[in-house]
Amino acid sequence: MIRIPKKGSPERDRIIAEHKACMESMKGVAGCSVLRCGEQGDTTEVSGGIHEDFVLNRVLLRMRAAMPANGKRKLVVICTEPDKSWRIGRLAGVRGVPPEFVNDTVYDNEQDPQHDIFVMRLDEMEEEDGFPEHFREGWKRRDDNWTVT
């Protein structure tokens, strides 16, 4: 099982740089894919990112699978003005409760907040976060904020 790279390690710095390069090359493309475009905003030729960087791929999979039970709620990109401004928010973890903004930073594209969320999640995750022993079987457990009738 691949561990989450420690702060200050060369491996962590390398995957952050690769993620940033992918996000920069994707500017002008709707959505978020961790791949490098041949030319910025042109997805006809993609490489790098999750296709070629095994550690980055595994870290992103662990981030996506992580349960919010570690006390940290999920981070999301919130479009505050269509095609003009975006901010980072944290989900409440309860259906119907709106997300809260994490800071006052306003972005002019979708990719910069995605990269900042990636770095924030790396900072929040434990080195062994997302290992198989952290998962529990079951669906609609009573502690998952589902209404009990």
Phi and psi torsions of 38, nearest 5°:
-60, -45
The predicted pLDDT at position 83 comes to 87
pLDDT of residue 37: 87
CA distance 18 to 133: 29
C-alpha 85/C-alpha 133 separation (Å) is 40
CB 16 within 8 A of CB 4: no
**Direct distance between the N- and C-terminal alpha carbons of the chain, in angstroms, rounded to an integer:** 39
Residue 71: predicted pLDDT = 61
Residues of the chain with pLDDT under 50: 148-149
> H or E segment at 19?
helix 10-25
Q: Supply the pLDDT for residue 68.
A: 60
CB 60 within 8 A of CB 34: yes
Q: What is the pTM of this model?
A: 0.80
